[in-house]
Every structure is written in structure tokens, then in C-alpha cells.
């Protein structure tokens, strides 16, 4: 199966294609029951795998291993992976891309940040000179055969954003992403300079970008919507509440029907269904 082509075809269809951020296999199992497209964000992976912030700690073999497990578990889903800056020099970025393509991933996101890098919705981001990033991007594009590539800029100056977005749209990248877009009007300006190239919008709770529905995004000409952290933040909130409740109850577990959470039977049933579904693929 050509996973890159399948995602391109989906993006080219009407409306805005949603990709849901997952951070581990359990969150992926839940998200995959509701959506056919998954996204692995650097923010979520750094938090879940290392317990660290998204400032460049990810080692590429860890991300590749997780992506391989995802593809094995979800053979029919679109899988887009954030590879940050390619984890170093262009040669390493190309190696990672080739590994992910062999594993059957649908696509990758490659950013233009320089180290020390930051979450795309954090302050203090710095970007590479445009020509240096374009050289890395060209090498990555030349190293793939089918894999979809999202060219991402983390520029924050309005003029630089438009210059870079236009330059990225002129490459052979499949999709353009400007991360941390701050307004609807900014989306319109970016849409105007990228021409017919597909445009991706990244939403993260508490981030710098406006919260928009898929209908609103489609009206703005956005082709792909990535939801980076809904599973991670929901898990954070639920676990914090569970620990607070357990402590206040002197260690007595609430009944499942009282605690508002699933019980072991429900969780086991869901995981058993997933196992059966994957074994039948």
C-alpha cells in the first residue's frame, strides 16, 4: 500500500482532514476508534516517553520505534509523524525519513527551527536561515519516494512568515504548515501566498492559535487540521483528578460508577477488541 498517496488523496478531497494527536499506544487505540488519521507530536511524545518538555530531547530511534509500533497496530490509518528538525544534520534527517517510509508511515513534518528548539506554540523560537532550511528540505524530499512531507516554518515575524510560506509552497513539499498562527486573518494571508499548495493548521489547547471548527477551517481554505494534544491533556487532567481523589479518600478506590471512569472490565474489553481487530487484518 502507498500510504503517502493515500494521505495525499484524502487531503485532496473536500473539506479539512483531521489528524488526532496521540502519545502512546493506549491513546492511539482510543483515537483510532473515532478518527482514521493519527498524528504523533513532539510535544506529546517528549512528555509521555521521557517526562520532559518539548525542547529537543527526543532521540530519533525512540520516535522511529514508536512509529513502527503504531503502523503495526493500525495498518489502515493515516499516520503523520513530527520529526522536529530531523534530529540534526540533513544526512540524519534523510536517514530518519527513509526508515519511516520503510515502516509504512504516511508522512512527516520537518520544521525550520534551529537548536535549542521549542514547542511551536512556545516563546523563544529561532529559525534557520531560509536557504539552509530549504537545502535540508530538498535533501529530505529527494530521499523519499512516496512519503508525504509537510514543510513547516516556525517564524514569528509577520513578514518573514509570508516570505517563508511562499518559499515552502514553491518546493516539492506536499503541504505547508506555519505553526503558532495567531489569528484568522493571518491564516487568510498565509493561504493567499501559498497558492494551490495544501495548507495545514495545528491546534493545541492553550496555544497561540485560535480554536476553530473543521467547518470554519474549510471555509478558510485549510486542507489539514492537526490536533496535537487532546489525548495527552485529557489524560493529564483525568489522572490528576484521580490521584487527588484517591489521596483525599485515604486510599479507597471509588466505584467505577461513582468515579466517572471506566473499570477494568471496560478497559479489558476495549483492548481485547483492538487485539482481535488487528489480528484479523
For residue range 49-63, list pLDDT tens digits in order.
999 988 889 999 999
pLDDT at 2 over 70: yes
Same domain assignment for residues 270 and 215: no
Same domain, 129 and 239: yes
Residues 30, 36, 40: CA angle, nearest 5 degrees? 70
Residue 50: which domain range?
3-243
Question: Is 200 in contact with 133 (CB distance < 8 Å)?
Answer: no
Let me know whether 234 and 253 are in one domain.
no
C-beta separation of 165 from 178 below 8 A? yes
- 55 vs 163: which has the higher pLDDT: 163
- Any idea what the CATH number is for the domain that residue 215 is in? 3.20.20.60
- Note whether 162 and 73 are same-domain residues: yes
What are the distances in angstroms from CA 124 to CA 112, 205, 219, 238?
14, 19, 31, 30
User: Does 224 score more than 60 pLDDT?
Assistant: yes
Contact between residue 102 and residue 143 where contact means Cβ atoms under 8 Å apart: no
Say if residue 135 is in the same domain as residue 260: no
Verify that 60 and 191 share a domain, yes or no.
Answer: yes
Q: Give yes or no: residues 217 and 273 share one domain.
A: no
Question: Is residue 29 over pLDDT 90?
Answer: yes
What integer pLDDT is reported at residue 110 of this predicted model? Answer: 97
Q: Are residues 184 and 272 in the same domain?
A: no
CA 9 to chain centre: 19
Portion of the chain with pLDDT greater than 90, in percent: 75
- For residue 39, the cross-strand partners are 21, 80
Average pLDDT of the segment spanning 151-159: 92
Q: What share of the chain is helix, strand, coil (3-state, %, to 5)?
A: 50, 15, 35
Q: How many domains does the chain have?
A: 2
Amino acid at each position: 500500500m502507498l500510504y503517502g498517496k493515500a494521505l495525499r488523496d484524502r487531503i485532496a478531497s473536500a473539506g479539512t482532514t483531521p489528524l488526532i494527536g496521540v502519545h502512546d499506544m493506549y491513546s492511539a487505540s482510543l483515537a483510532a476508534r473515532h478518527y482514521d488519521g493519527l498524528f504523533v507530536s513532539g510535544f506529546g511524545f517528549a512528555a509521555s516517553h521521557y517526562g520532559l518538555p518539548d525542547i529537543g530531547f527526543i532521540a530519533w530511534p525512540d520516535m522511529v520505534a514508536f512509529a513502527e509500533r503504531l503502523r503495526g497496530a493500525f495498518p489502515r490509518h493515516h499516520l503523520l509523524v513530527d520529526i522536529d528538525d530531523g534530529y540534526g544534520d540533513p544526512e540524519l534527517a534523510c536517514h530518519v525519513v527513509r526508515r519511516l517510509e520503510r515502516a509504512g508511515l504516511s508522512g512527516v513534518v520537518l520544521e525550520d527551527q534551529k537548536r535549542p528548539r521549542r514547542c511551536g506554540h512556545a516563546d523563544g523560537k529561532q529559525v534557520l536561515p531560509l536557504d539552509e532550511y530549504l537545502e535540508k528540505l530538498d535533501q529530505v524530499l529527494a530521499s523519499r519516494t512516496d512519503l508525504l512531507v509537510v514543510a513547516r516554518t516556525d517564524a514569528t515575524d509577520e513578514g518573514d512568515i509570508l516570505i517563508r510560506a511562499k518559499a515552502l509552497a514553491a518546493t516539492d513539499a506536499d503541504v505547508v504548515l506555519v505553526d503558532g498562527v495567531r489569528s484568522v486573518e493571518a491564516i487568510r494571508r498565509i493561504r493567499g501566498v501559498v497558492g494551490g499548495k495544501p495548507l495545514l493548521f495545528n491546534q493545541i489547547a492553550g496555544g497561540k492559535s485560535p480554536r476553530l471548527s473543521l467547518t470554519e477551517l474549510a471555509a478558510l481554505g485549510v486542507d489539514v487540521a492537526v490536533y496535537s494534544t487532546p489525548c495527552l491533556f485529557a489524560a493529564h487532567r483525568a489522572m490528576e483528578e484521580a490521584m487527588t481523589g484517591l489521596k483525599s479518600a485515604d486510599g479507597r478506590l471509588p466505584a467505577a460508577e461513582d468515579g466517572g471512569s471506566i473499570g477494568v472490565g471496560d478497559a479489558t474489553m476495549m483492548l481485547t477488541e483492538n487485539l482481535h481487530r488487528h489480528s484479523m487484518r
